[in-house]
Each structure stands twice: as structure tokens, then as C-alpha cells.
Amino acid sequence: MARIDGRNVDQLRPVEIIPNINKFAEGSCLIRCGNTHVLCTASVEDKPPRHVPEGEGWVTAEYSMLPRANRERSKRDIAKLKLNGRSAEIQRLIGRALRSVVDMKKLGPWNITIDCDVLQGDGGTRTASVTGGFVAMMLAFRKMMENGQLAEYPVSGYVAAVSAGIVDDVALLDLCYEEDSAAMVDLNCVMDDQGRLIELQGTGEERPFTLEEQQQLVRLCHKGVVELQKIQKDVLGVEL
């Protein structure tokens, strides 16, 4: 089966991460995965939320799409006075994923907010947000180290994410929008750089999927994550 954009079944779309895209944010990047473009900024503030133990920090994420990120314009959340349910789900995922590798005691009493704003969406915006959000967070930590607010990166490893799915009974890595719309099964993996899972979400809205299919999709994702983390390391130049 030929993919719509000629890729191999286990091939990522072209990925580009442009660091420091925002002049004001402590950390930022623009991540482009094919036609999916997400602007990620990391903001450092000094008030972690109340539930955080004294002296420790917190990382939280917000995700939103610009109204014309997609093929059709959608209304802004504020016009409906409701945070989009899908956005709520995604930003919780991004936050959990990034927190999983941050040592909150080492971070100290800082609140890091990762804003992932989708400028253009062509499938895979949540996984691009995790991958780009990690870079923005690391750049903010670097700025904090330069400012003497941190002694070292309070981070235990690289985090990246990618999706895979089953289209016409074929497992494909990194679905673009057309593939995603036609997918029987869709699965996202957030993984660290030791090949371990941090978050795993699989959905078979069109049909159920077997444990073997699930494993196959996770292996595809693993291949993609390794490549994404190589790009992250090239951009950041940091070993963890």
C-alpha cells in the first residue's frame, strides 16, 4: 500500500525543531512535523500550585489550536465559554508526560507552564506538542541555570512522542490527517530514551484490536521516538 505522501510504513514525516522562536519566553521552539506546526513556549513563574509540597516545583501544560489551524475554522473556546474537551484531555497528557522525567525537588519552587499552540494541524498535534514541549522546557531550564536559579537540569531523560495506527489493516507510523481520519486503530506513545513507556493511549473506535496489533504499533512508535529524540538532542546538545 502506498501512503498518501509516499512514505514508508515506518517513516516519520520531515521533522524540524526551531529553538528560541519566542523572544520573551524562557524556553521556546516551533516544531514542524510535516504540515503540523506547534509553537511551544515554557514560562517560568515563582508560584507553584497549592497542592505542591513546600520547596518543590511543578510543570503544567496548556494546549490549544488557533481557530484556523484546521481545514475548517473552529470557534475559539472563549466564544463557547468552554475549554474544548479534546484540549482538556490533551493538555493533561502533555503535563503528565513532561512531569514524568522532572525531579520536582531538584526543580525547586518554580512553576513551569508549557504552552502548546497549534498554528497548523495535520494530525499528530498532541505528540508533536509533547516532543516540542520537552525542548521548550529544557531550554527554560538552561536559561534558569544561566540565571543561577538551577544548578543542573532537573530531568532524568529525554521524552518524545509519536503516533501509529492501522489503516486498511496496515500498521503505519506517524499518521497525517488523512490517514488519521481513515484509521481503524490509533495509538500514541510517549517514551523515554531507554525505550520505556511513559504514556500509552490506544483507541479502536472503528474496530477492536488484538494484543499483537497493539505490540506492533508500540514497536513502530518506538522506532519513531528514537529518531525524534535524536533530533531533540541535536537541537539541545545535552546529555542527560
Would you tell me which residues interact with its own copies (CB under 8 A)?
22-25, 28, 35, 39, 41, 43, 45, 62, 64, 66-71, 73, 76-78, 81-83, 85-86, 88-89, 91-92, 96, 99-100, 113, 115, 117, 119-120, 122, 157, 187, 191-192, 194-211, 214-215, 218
In this complex, which beta carbon is closest to its own copies, that of residue 68 or of residue 151?
Answer: 68
In this complex, which beta carbon is closest to its own copies, that of residue 79 or of residue 237?
Answer: 79
Partners of 37 in the β-ladder: 32, 120
In this complex, which beta carbon is closest to its own copies, that of residue 80 or of residue 151?
Answer: 80
CB of 178 to its own copies, least distance (A): 13
Placement of cell 468552554 in the chain: 82
Helix (H, G, I), strand (E, B) or coil at 151: coil
CB of 30 to its own copies, least distance (A): 9
In this complex, which beta carbon is closest to its own copies, that of residue 122 or of residue 174?
Answer: 122
* Torsion of the alpha carbons at 2, 6, 8 and 9, rounded to the nearest 10: -60
CA 109 to CA 112: how far, in whole Å?
A: 10
| All three cell numbers of 168 | 486498511
CB of 61 to its own copies, least distance (A): 11
Phi and psi angles of residue 155, each rounded to the nearest 5 degrees, phi first: -135, 135
Partners of 27 in the β-ladder: 42
> What is the pairing mode between strands 36-45 and 111-120?
antiparallel
Helix (H, G, I), strand (E, B) or coil at 97: helix
CB of 142 to its own copies, least distance (A): 17
CB of 138 to its own copies, least distance (A): 16
In this complex, which beta carbon is closest to its own copies, that of residue 151 or of residue 203?
Answer: 203
The separation between CA 72 and the C-alpha centre of its own chain, rounded to angstroms, equals 23
CB of 11 to its own copies, least distance (A): 21
In this complex, which beta carbon is closest to its own copies, that of residue 149 or of residue 214?
Answer: 214
CB of 200 to its own copies, least distance (A): 4
CA 222 to CA 161: how far, in whole Å?
A: 9
CA 141 to CA 145: how far, in whole Å?
A: 6
CA 22 to CA 38: how far, in whole Å?
A: 13
In this complex, which beta carbon is closest to its own copies, that of residue 115 or of residue 174?
Answer: 115
